[in-house]
Structure 1
Amino acid sequence: MELQGSGFTLRGWLHGDEKSLQKHADNPRVSAFLMDRFPYPYTLQDAIAWVNFIQNRQPLTNFAIVIDDEACGGIAIDLMINANSKTGEIGYWLAEPYWGRGIATEAVNLITAYAFKYLAIIRIEAGVFSKNTASMRVLEKAGYVKEGIMRNALIKNGEVMDKHMYAILKPEHG
Structure 2
Amino acid sequence: MQEQVELRQFHRNMVDRLALLADNPKIAAHVRDNFPSPYSLADAHYWIDMCSKVNANAFQRAVFYQDEFVGGIGVLRQEDIYRNNAEIGYWLGEPYWGKNIATAALVQMTDWIFQNTSITRLFAGVFETNSASKRVLEKAGYELEAVHHKAIIKNGVVLDEHLFVRLAL
Q: Does 1:84 align with 2:82?
A: yes
Find the partner of 2:16 among 4, 16, 19.
19
Find the partner of 2:34 among 34, 37, 48.
37
Q: Does 1:103 align with 2:107?
A: no
Please identify runs of 4+ aligned residues in structure 1 that moved more than 6 A.
none
Task: Give the alignment's Cα RMSD to 1 decimal.
Answer: 1.5
Q: TM-score, normalised by structure 1?
A: 0.92
Aligned length in residues: 168
Q: Which residue of 1 aligns with 2:160?
A: 162
Equivalent positions of 1:49-64 (< 5 A) are: 49-59=46-56, 61-64=59-62
Q: Which residue of 1 aligns with 2:112?
A: 114
Q: Is contact 1:12-1:56 (8 Å) kept?
A: no
CA distances 1:46-88 after superposition (whole Å, capped 9, x unpaired): 0011111111424461100123554320001111101100001
Letter in 2 for 1:94: L
Q: TM-score, normalised by structure 2?
A: 0.94
Consecutive unaligned residues in structure 2, runs of 5 or more: none
Where 1:128 maps in the other structure, the secondary structure is: strand
Q: Does 1:9 align with 2:41?
A: no
Letter in 2 for 1:19: D
- Matches of 2:102 and 2:148 in 1, distance apart? 24
Shift of 1:32: 1.0
Q: Is contact 1:127-1:166 (8 Å) kept?
A: yes
Consecutive unaligned residues in structure 1, runs of 5 or more: none
Letter in 2 for 1:111: M
